[in-house]
Amino acid sequence: MFSDHNYLSRRRFLSGFASASGALATGVGSWVVRPDWANAAEGPIKVGIATDLTGPIAYAGNADANVAKMVIKEINDAGGLLGRPIELFIEDTASNESIAVGNVRKLIQRDKVDMVLGGITSSMRNAIKDPIVARGKTLYIYPQLYEGKECTPYLFCTGPTPAQQCDEFIPWLIKNGGKKFALPSANYVWPHTLNVYARKVIEANGGEVVFEEYYPLDQIDFGSTVNRIISNKVDVVFNTVIPPGVGPFFKQLYEAGFLKNGGRLACVYYDENTLNINQANEIEGLASCLDYFKALTKDDPVSARIQAAYDKDYPGKILFAAGSAATGTYRGLKLWAAAVKEAGKVDRDSVAAALDHAKIAEGPGGPAEMVPGKRHCKMKMYTAVAKGGNYEIVARSNGLVDPKEC
Amino acid sequence: MAESGLVGALGGGKTATRRKVLPIVEFLALLVAAVVPLVLQDYLTVFATRVVILALFALSFDLVWGYAGIMSFGQALFFGSAGYGVALLARDLNVTSILLVLPASLLIGLVVSLLLGGFLLLGRHPSSVIFVALGTLTGSYAADRLARGWYYLGGQNGIPSIPSMTLGSYEINEGPVYYYLALGILVVVYLLCRFLVRSQFGLALAGLRENEQRIAFFGYKAQHLKAIMFAIGGAVAGLAGGLYAFHEGFVWPNVLGVVFSTQVVLYVLFGGSGTLIGAVIGAVIIEGVSFWLSDNYRDVWPIILGVLLLLVILFRPLGLISLVLGERERVGSFGGPPKESHHGAP
Amino acid sequence: MGSAFAAGFEILSFGAIIVLVVLGLGIIASMMGIFNFAQGEFVLLGAYITYLAYSNGIPVWVGMAAAPFLVGALGFVLEGLIIRRFYAAPIVAMLGTYALGLIIRESVRGLIGGFYLSVPEPVGGSIDIGSIHVSTWRFVIIIVTTLVMIGCYLLLSRTSFGLRVRATLENPSLARTSGISTASIYGTTFAFGAALAGLAGALLVPVFSLFADLGIRFLIQGFVSVMVGGVGSFIGPVAGAAVIGTLSAALPWVMAPVAADILVFVLAIVFIKFRPQGLMSGKGV
């Protein structure tokens, strides 16, 4: 799909032939983005992306794959890394853990990549981290906002953590919403762990958690929940229900008059992509806290540049947004590239050692820094509110926020 | 009455000697399976191991559907229960020894299927086929929902990072070692099943398939026979589940659910039920083509699979295996050849 | 008081939704003894057609009106081409419908990807009764379901067409001997069942988003409802759907949703075990 071979040397012909016959024997390897030139003696550096290209999380996975292609192309156009081109291998985890493990194995055993970046939901991360880090002995970068507590060696997280999403957000919610919180949640690890942290912050700031409930992922009828919210006069719904339930849930909440009576919706994974799940009036006033919003492009030239580059290469429905791990992917790849430059080598231990304290000055939303020894990333955080189908930034962090993990 | 054909198939008389195709097919399959790791790259051997385990799972369905006539849409219930069971053993009790986990998975599958089968099949009135089908479907669905909702079982995430199976201090990792382990187990179970369905018990089951009422009139407790076969099928499914859990390194609610259950129905339908080898072939073909096509025709493959299945049901309801196997061989031969060959005897 | 009313309305509207989905399944099962594994996918098709209309600028209600006819037509074609061959072997028929369902589901998945798409309701907003807000569209669903049920009942019991249908249901060979073309009756019945599913899907899609696996959850609830209600009559599946729908909607108010989910099915299976003929045994309307 993306191979343009401009000139053919004998070595390239032979290697091309070998891989083609290998591909015929094993099925054409998913999406391989081969750079144009291969004059480095050691061959290309191989990066693997394992993300949800199909399934309910496809809107996010495709964004991540696009960002990866964009960043890698940018690096290659500037001369590659350590004088070598980067070769990108993209595998579909299909929002299905069992398929994911099989495809990740292809990256590790067949393509022999030097690094894997990917996974969006925590369950996906949990499923693929073992084949990558333990059995595959490869570096793994996880780009999505999540519940924290992932302290596996050689696993680096470049998305926001509960501390980054709650520490300043929840006080803002109490001031701009009210003291009574409800925690309706999807029943899996991210909401469970996030709620523990959120509850701590809510209570430390004088708020009260009226109820905390967990629903099966495909639950689409929330009558009893909505009723409990209304009858308990809840001020802020701190929601961690995810698609497919979140659309019907917000709609039912709206129909019951929650917003009319002054209630506020809060959802820390809501970004530009998820705005389209409901009609604009159903989520008016919804607040989210992420490392990047498109509204930032108005006053941050770096963010504007990155957003413009993405929109030019990938116009359409797949948006560059922070709740979909796209910003984390950008950050992760840039940090990794910086680490490889510092290490001068591509083997796992050298890169991990350099990545441990890597910094980038330019990223979506601002600069980013890995916290040494913690394998998590400091970044700027922004609170935004949905108004008429678009986000408006209402609060910014003072500088980089500490992830407080591990 | 095709007596001469009957006698010939039993390996007896001088009339019509039809070559038995089934053993040839089985032998060829075994031969191919044995050399796979030597020919394929490492990660493909891992894939092949998964296929072998799924073939074992398919075998369990063939036992209950092909030989006992029970339409079980919930085989994954036993598969997944055993998978979760051994995952919990490994996570909470640090038990990973193969000598413990494989018998455990067998046992879990057996117990769960005895419970469900007992409830669905036994009782004063014989249960209709539809009720049993629905009951197994619901069992699988309910187990899926339960696992999805129960945080101790990991909820939606399942149980990740299951350590490797061990034999003493040796770790059985994925690759040729695990492949031969799985293949060995498949062969042993296959032979046991083959023996079972050719025995007197199998004869009663064959009669059950042909005409349940008549068998009951002969004094056989039809429901009991079915329940026993259901339990055996469940045990085999459980064994497959245990192998799967350690091979993949994680279990999650889908391994209990309806989609997985119906997958095995597809394998057997495609390959041909009631032949044992049909189940294995069906699993291998579907998984293999699925793997090969999923790279190229990612979106279209499931549709093609559905169409293929429909075509098989329409035109070859006995499955692909019926292309090489005659009807006689499908039903099977029982016991030994008759004492004397009477030409023209009733 | 307000909360009890809200609860009651919720339960009623959810029950109505289930009845609408199950009606078609029940009719096909009672008539032809085949459990249509593709019923969930007919619901999906109804939802998809509505979405197509919406995304192409056609008013949503037009799409909703067209959906039952289109899905019914498809059902008629499928019955003639495929299902017809399997009446002698119902089990194989069910597997055939399973394969059809798979094809439909994966085709829709190919067309919409893995996305969750939303369709606005034609009549939106809520009806305010004092402090109680009741979703207008859900109210519409209840009305439509009631009308459809009454219409079906009248069709089956008062028209000559209904007479022929009932005759075929009670005694197919006698019906054939009397000159009724059972083949075309079966075709029409299957088409009708499919059309009902299409209607259900169209009405439901504003409430639940459109996604490829929409059909599966309804399928299982549908089967259980039909068996609880009793196969062989018109009112049986409706009764079963009402019971299952009510239980499914009511139990989460008193216990954890996960437990409620499972309990409904366990209770249903146990009930069927001890009363295999279901709530309403007997054939006919």
Question: Per residue in A158-169, pLDDT tens?
Answer: 999 999 999 989
Report chain C's mean pLDDT, rounded to a whole number: 82
ipTM of the complex: 0.81
Check pLDDT > 90 for residue A245: no
- Which tokens go with B142? 């309910």
Task: Write down the pLDDT at residue A311.
Answer: 92
Nearest CA in chain A to B175: A109
Asked if the structure places residue B280 within a domain, the reply is: no
Report the alpha-carbon distance of residue A161 to residue A326 in Å, rounded: 15
Report helix angle B42-62 to B258-271, nearest 10: 80
CB C116 within 8 A of CB C47: no
Helix (H, G, I), strand (E, B) or coil at A144: coil
What is the Cα A184 distance to its own chain's centre?
22
* Residue (of A289, A300, A16) closest to A165 by Cα position: A289
Cis peptide leading into residue A85 (ω within 30°): no
Between strands A45-51 and A287-290, the pairing is unpaired
Residue C220 in contact with partner chain B when CB distance is under 8 A: yes
Exposed (0-12), middle (13-18) or buried (19+): which is C195, by Cβ within 10 Å?
buried
Q: What is the pLDDT along chain B (346 residues), one digit of tens a residue?
A: 344 334 333 433 334 445 677 788 888 888 888 888 788 777 788 889 999 999 999 999 999 988 888 889 889 999 999 999 999 999 888 888 888 899 999 999 999 999 999 888 887 777 777 788 888 988 998 898 888 888 788 877 788 878 888 888 888 888 888 899 999 999 999 999 988 888 888 888 888 877 777 888 888 888 888 899 999 999 999 999 999 999 988 888 889 988 888 888 888 888 888 888 889 999 999 888 888 776 666 667 778 878 888 888 888 777 777 777 766 666 555 555 555 544 444 4
- Which tokens go with B39? 């020919």
Report the alpha-carbon distance of residue B57 to residue B69 in Å, rounded: 17
Do the Cβ atoms of B131 and C272 come within 8 Å?
yes
Terminal alpha carbon distance of chain B: 9
Report the alpha-carbon distance of residue A156 to residue A139 in Å, rounded: 8
Residue A208: in which H helix or E strand, if any?
strand A208-215
Query: In angstroms, what CA-CA distances link A189 with A131, B20, B157, B262, C272?
Result: 20, 55, 7, 28, 36
Asked if the structure places residue B293 within a domain, the reply is: no
pLDDT > 70 fraction of chain A, expressed in percent and rounded: 90
Residue C262 in contact with partner chain B when CB distance is under 8 A: yes
Terminal alpha carbon distance of chain A: 41
Q: Which amino acid is at A267?
A: C
- Which tokens go with B311? 């075509």
Do the Cβ atoms of A97 and B250 come within 8 Å?
yes
Cβ pairs B/C, distance under 8 A: 93
C111 vs B contacts (CB less than 8 Å):
none
Would you identify the CATH topology of the domain C2-117+130-274? ABC transporter involved in vitamin B12 uptake, BtuC (1.10.3470)
Helix (H, G, I), strand (E, B) or coil at A88: strand
The parent domain of residue B137 ranges over 40-258
pLDDT > 90 fraction of chain A, expressed in percent and rounded: 45
Report the alpha-carbon distance of residue C198 to residue C213 in Å, rounded: 15
Domain ranges for chain A, please list them. Answer: 10-160+306-313+323-376, 163-295+382-396
Summarize pLDDT for A32-57 with one digit per residue, the tens: 666 655 555 678 899 999 998 877 77
Exposed (0-12), middle (13-18) or buried (19+): which is A22, by Cβ within 10 Å?
middle
CB B18 within 8 A of CB B326: yes
Report the alpha-carbon distance of residue A54 to residue B156 in Å, rounded: 18
C262 vs B contacts (CB less than 8 Å):
142, 145-146, 149
Asked if the structure places residue B17 within a domain, the reply is: no
What is the total count of domains within chain B?
1
Do the Cβ atoms of A127 and B254 come within 8 Å?
no
Report the alpha-carbon distance of residue A379 to residue A33 in Å, rounded: 30
Summarize pLDDT for A349-394 with one digit per residue, the tens: 999 999 999 999 988 888 999 999 899 999 999 999 999 889 999 9
Q: Is the dihedral of CA A283, A285, A288, A293 positive or negative?
A: positive
Give the DSSP letter string of A101-126.
HHHHHIIIIIS--SEEEE--SHHHHH
Hey, of B153, B292, B295, B296, which one would you mutate to test binding to chain A, going by the most A CBs within 10 A of its CB? B295
Q: What is the mean pLDDT of residues A195-213?
A: 93
* Residue (of C78, C100, C85, C109) closest to B310 by Cα position: C100
Do the Cβ atoms of C3 and A214 come within 8 Å?
no
Strand partners, A385: A287, A392
A10-160+306-313+323-376 CATH pick, 3.40.630.30, 3.40.50.2300, 1.10.1060.10, 3.65.10.10: 3.40.50.2300
Domain ranges for chain C, please list them. Answer: 2-117+130-274
CATH homologous superfamily of A163-295+382-396: Response regulator (3.40.50.2300)
- Which tokens go with B77? 């219930």
Between strands A86-92 and A31-33, the pairing is antiparallel
- How many residues are there in chain B? 346
Nearest CA in chain C to A228: C3
Q: Which amino acid is at C284?
A: G
* Residue (of A173, A169, A210, A215) closest to A192 by Cα position: A215
